[in-house]
Structure 1
Amino acid sequence: MITIRRMTIKDYESVIELMRNTPGISLRDADSRESTARCLDRNPGMSFVAEAEGAVCGCVMCGHDGRRGYLQHLIVLPEYRRQGIAHELVERCLQCLEALGIYKCHLDVLKVNEAAGRYWSGQGWTLREDIDRYSMVRQGGENA
């Protein structure tokens, strides 16, 4: 049986291990325990994990800026895919955003992660052709 619950910082080691072992996921310095704790504190109750037999088998992180929502790191272990777990994780995040009056959500997908692109398109998300994302790193280098 799969259980979905709110993510806490106690899940960090399990979640970071999922990230490390998932092709197409890029880890950055911003994925440190400290940064993750800050994200969870700033966006309480908006990120989720899926558990099977007491072990984390999926996760998603969610936050917002007051106007738009942002999803990050949706991961489900391969042996648990195609069971609706990813859909339920995302749905929980979107419900949290809607409860705050936020009805638009964004996410980033690495261009090399074609499987993720197919997943999101298949779920009704739209690939934006009208904007490019620009980033600035003020400290820490390329892996910030």
Structure 2
Amino acid sequence: MQLREATPADHAVLHALWARTPGIQLRAEDALAPYCAYLARNPGFSLLAETDGRVVGCLLAGHDGRRGYLQHLAVDPGYRRRGIASALIAAVLARLAAQGIAKSHVFVLDAAPEALAFWRARFGWGERGDIRVFSTMEQSR
């Protein structure tokens, strides 16, 4: 397995991976143009895992100057339990730390039990009970 930076050319294969991954909810922001804008605003933080030239995992990441944000961690079901997700997380956190970002967040849907279990079992990650997330609601849903 090898890790590399995500590029705009990877969008189609990543979108397909996200679409078939339970717990990832696709939105308009996952289309090509917003994806490319995200990569441009956060260069070097979003990574892919490849095996035999095939993308088998990914993690989008960025920061706001204070906190890191991890999004769309996905590993192809046939490649799970091989340490791919852990390798992606470690590499992204190292890149964030190199920029002075010591704390990161990940948002997990309540309707994603596998993802919730994964993050609850991660050493160093704790589920917060002291905050609630509020988001602007799209009008077109």
TM-score when scaled to structure 2? 0.95
1:54-74 residue CA offsets vs partner (Å, 9 max, x unmatched): 111100000000000000000
State the partner residue of 2:13. Answer: 14
State the partner residue of 2:128. Answer: 128
User: In the alignment, does 2:68 pair up with 1:69?
Assistant: yes
Measure how far apart 1:142 and its partner are: 5.0
User: In the alignment, does 2:70 pair up with 1:50?
Assistant: no
In the TM superposition, what are the counterparts of 1:1-144 in structure 2 within 5 Å? Answer: 2-124=1-123, 125-137=125-137, 141=139, 143=141
Percent identity between matched residues is 43
Runs of at least 5 residues in structure 1 that lack an aligned partner in the other structure: none
Q: Which amino acid aligns with 1:67?
A: R
Runs of at least 5 residues in structure 2 that lack an aligned partner in the other structure: none
Separation of aligned partners in 1, 2:20 and 2:136: 27
SS at match of 1:27: coil
> Following superposition, which runs of at least 4 residues in structure 1 exceed 3 angstroms of deviation?
none
Measure how far apart 1:109 and its partner are: 0.5
Measure how far apart 1:122 and its partner are: 1.0
